[in-house]
Structure 1
Amino acid sequence: MTSLSDLPIRDDLRGLKPYGAPTDPVSIQLNVNENTHPIPEAVATDIVTALAQAVMSANRYPDREFTELRESLAAYLGHGLTADNIWAANGSNEVLQQTLQAFGGPGRRVLGFPPTYSMHSIIASGTGTEWVTATRDPEYDLTPATVVAAIVEHAPDVIFLCSPNNPTGTSVSIETIVAAYDATEGIVLVDEAYAEFSDLESALTLLHRRPRLIVSRTMSKAFAFAGARVGYLAADPAIADALRLVRLPYHLSVLTQAAAVAALAHATEMLAMVDEIKTQRDRMSAGLAALGFVPVPSEANFVLFGGVADPQALFHKLLIQDILIRDVGIPHHLRVTAGTEAETTAFLDAMADLQALGRVES
């Protein structure tokens, strides 16, 4: 049987592993930062109606410029943005990929600050962009001085800043983003996939007169739309012009566009669950701390916690109890998504039971 190593694959892809997260069939899935709350029934009904109407035109190609969707996203974001400032794709991963196709590629490099979103480096590899990294400050912080020093050292063409950062949940200050922008002539992309869960100022406030700044967002998290695959960015209109050069034609289906527009029309209802998720996130942090673990303060919909003697052992013990969380590869740490009240209770009860049995150490 032919194996991958037998194929004439690109040399820079040899030995790499694809993105993957455990997909064990369990009752409580708290491993990939999905919104575990269901879409409200009334909203789902309107989305289904929009899809039924859209499918009647599926014999034709969709609007290549997805104009109505860009208008809806601009209205949702505010900040004086218009449809010209918006670009969208099949999940924010495709937005990041198109960004590196346009501004990265062979002979160019993108700077990241691990631990951070694992797809950043994978997308860099897929686009032939060199992935270079720099060390974060204590407590997973990024100060202006640290970021500027890394830019001076590596001279990147693109800088990825994740805020709130996955997997730590920590945010990047406005001052750090401005310092990064002023220190480079390249592209600065702020990945704000979890922005709706944060009370801090968004990088959207910085877009005016900064044509090389990109703010990436997604409908996967706060909008409970992970399965619909809708990501987008806000930037100077010239950025969208650049991405038009590399996107595949008609890359957003008529069904994707219809579903997203319908969901955005119900933004208030869709985002009503955000406060509840933040409540469970904070409850989870407090509960873990009470058990002797060390939760990292989070502005996202998940909690990274330390003080775990054996992360893999704890991961598997929780799995036996029908609870799936995430080992992100940071020594003595695990990450757990903030779910519903019932899911949070089940997780904290399981953690208490395991500690009481002496199966974990803080």
Structure 2
Amino acid sequence: MSETSSNAIPAYLPLRNDLIGEEPYGAPQLDVPVCLNVNENPYAPEPAVVETIAQRVKEIAPTLNRYPDREHIALRQAFCDYLERESGVKLEVDQLWGANGSNEIMLQLFQAFGGPGRIALSCNPTYSMYPEYARDTFTTWKLAHRNEDFSLNVDATIKAIENIKPAMIVLASPNNPTGTPLKMDDLKRVLNAAKAAEVEGAAEGVHPVVVVDEAYIEFRDPGTPTALELIGEYENLAVSRTMSKAFAFAGARVGYLAANKGIIDCVRIVRMPYHLSAVTQAAALAAFEHTDEQLSRVAHLRDTRNQTAAWLKEQTYKGQPLEVAETQSNFILFGGHFDNRDRIFDELLQRGVLIRTVGPDGWMRVCMGTDGEMARFREALVEVLRIVEQD
């Protein structure tokens, strides 16, 4: 069984020419005992959190005949309060913006700063949705390449900025699918290069926006800095975050953007009116009332990641130790020299374990699950590698 399936579009439908043959994005959603493929927090919200969410939604239910606060001011203040607590960075309400998951945040950024004649630049390998945001907004997509250890090749990135003249530079930290953190000194060099760079198709004096996607940042080791700390210094910096991962809120679809007011106002131009429902806003505010409970498993998942990375390094495939990419996320990219990762994927799936074949050839990615799920993953992987090696 493969990770993709055919998407037959009837020939008589006037699908955009550039979309013909394309497949919808998405990791497999399969009913298996151990799902470790979409980087979720495996721990459900505590009963007290569920009760508060239900109560807050019940309270606003009689008002659902009215549109919600389209500026979601209360929620933006909650983002401010959370970020000051989590990262020690104090921001104002007009420096925050929310949307339906960080996917919508990223799409809004591409809508605001991309478009026909505009270029977005990133560094490969990285999140496979980025080129789809570019495609959907008619933005040209370009890549610089990372170093062999998946760290940012800063010199190559700056050279690409100077030559390509992008409107947007998109960097993830930790990077997906590799888990690689972005060093602040490297980010500063990119930000400084962007401040001096031109933008293809824009007026003189216009410079690129640098977008740092921090979807997994709460899983970083203690003491590791965040790009949020640079917002006051760089007006061309935008930082995307989400409640989906560490905050155990993937099903609620709440993402948010931190940046200077000018960037936020650009995004407000392209947002759909009333894009965040009253139910979504109420649920998110309720979750923030229980921040400690929502983040209570993060340290354990971080320990699980470190222990799993150490264990993977002890495993071998065809006589060679498995490679494990440095990660500050809740997932691990491993393998490095799998010559038939699709076979490994299928064999694991047959044993009820679902991971991802993603990233460069030879690599696979596993998300951290519960202790029981990780035990089953380890057991299944040992068995599968032994079987595949014998073929």
Q: Structure 2 length normalisation: TM-score?
A: 0.89
The one-letter code matched in structure 2 to 1:93 is: N
Match of 1:135 in 2: 145
Q: Is the 8 A contact 1:304 1:334 kept in 2?
A: yes
For the residues of structure 2 that align with 1:4 and 1:191, how far apart are their CA atoms?
36
Q: Secondary structure at the match of 2:388?
A: coil
- Percent identical among aligned pairs is 43
**Pair 1:238 & 2:262 matched:** yes
**Pair 1:174 & 2:184 matched:** yes
Displacement of 1:358 in angstroms is 3.7
- Of 345, 354, 358 in structure 2, the residue corresponding to residue 324 of structure 1 is 354
For the residues of structure 2 that align with 1:208 and 1:323, how far apart are their CA atoms?
44
Match of 1:109 in 2: 119
For the residues of structure 2 that align with 1:253 and 1:153, how far apart are their CA atoms?
42
The runs of 5 or more residues in structure 2 that have no matched partner are 1-7, 195-206, 317-321
Match of 1:298 in 2: 327
**Pair 1:227 & 2:256 matched:** no
CA offset digits 1:10-62 (Å, max 9, x no partner): 33333332212111210110001111111111111111111111222111100
Match of 2:208 in 1: 186
> 5 Å matches for 1:273-352?
273-292=297-316, 293-306=322-335, 307-352=337-382
Q: Secondary structure at the match of 2:149?
A: helix
Of 259-268 and 87-96, deviating more is 259-268
Q: Secondary structure at the match of 2:357?
A: coil
Displacement of 1:5 in angstroms is 4.4
**Pair 1:162 & 2:167 matched:** no
Q: Is the 8 A contact 1:310 1:360 kept in 2?
A: no
Q: Is the 8 A contact 2:178 2:359 kept in 1?
A: no
Displacement of 1:3 in angstroms is 3.5
**Pair 1:353 & 2:358 matched:** no
Q: Secondary structure at the match of 1:72?
A: helix
**Pair 1:258 & 2:268 matched:** no
Displacement of 1:225 in angstroms is 0.7
Match of 1:196 in 2: 218
Q: Is the 8 A contact 1:309 1:360 kept in 2?
A: no
**Pair 1:205 & 2:229 matched:** yes
Runs of 4+ displaced beyond 6 Å:
none
Q: Secondary structure at the match of 1:38?
A: coil
Q: Is the 8 A contact 1:215 1:233 kept in 2?
A: yes
How many residue pairs match? The answer is 359
Match of 2:72 in 1: 66
**Pair 1:248 & 2:269 matched:** no
For the residues of structure 2 that align with 1:263 and 1:324, how far apart are their CA atoms?
29
For the residues of structure 1 that align with 2:307 and 2:75, how far apart are their CA atoms?
36
The one-letter code matched in structure 1 to 2:346 is: H
CA offset digits 1:125-161 (Å, max 9, x no partner): 0011111111111200114323211211211110000
Displacement of 1:4 in angstroms is 4.8
The one-letter code matched in structure 2 to 1:191 is: D
Of 34-43 and 88-97, deviating more is 34-43
Q: Structure 1 length normalisation: TM-score?
A: 0.96
Q: Is the 8 A contact 2:145 2:153 kept in 1?
A: no
Alignment root-mean-square deviation, CA: 1.4
The one-letter code matched in structure 2 to 1:302 is: F
